[in-house]
Amino acid sequence: MTPCAESHHWPPVDYKIIRAAVLRMTSNPIFAIPDDTSQKFVALLTALEHAERKAAAQR
């Protein structure tokens, strides 16, 4: 991390809220997000969540 990023104390990311928002948006026809795009985004969030937990466990 850069010194600037280390100096800030960011709150933990709540992946459940983000994942639920993505799923809500994809179910709304106004946003017109394809299902495969939402599935890829949810998979990315899941991978980030697992990586963050793994990094926290190693500290």
Q: What predicted TM-score, i.e. pTM, was given to this entire model?
A: 0.58
Angle at alpha carbon of residue 17, lines to 47 and 8, rounded to 5°: 75
**Amino acid in the structure at residue 9:** H
Residue ranges covered by each domain of the chain: 20-59
Q: Which of 14, 18, 54 is nearest to 38 (CA)?
A: 18
DSSP conformation class of 31:
T
The per-residue pLDDT for range 3-58, each reduced to its tens digit, is 555 556 777 778 888 888 888 887 888 877 787 887 888 888 888 888 888 988 88
The answer on pLDDT for 1 being more than 70 is: no
Q: What is the pLDDT of residue 4?
A: 53
Q: What is the pLDDT of residue 46?
A: 87
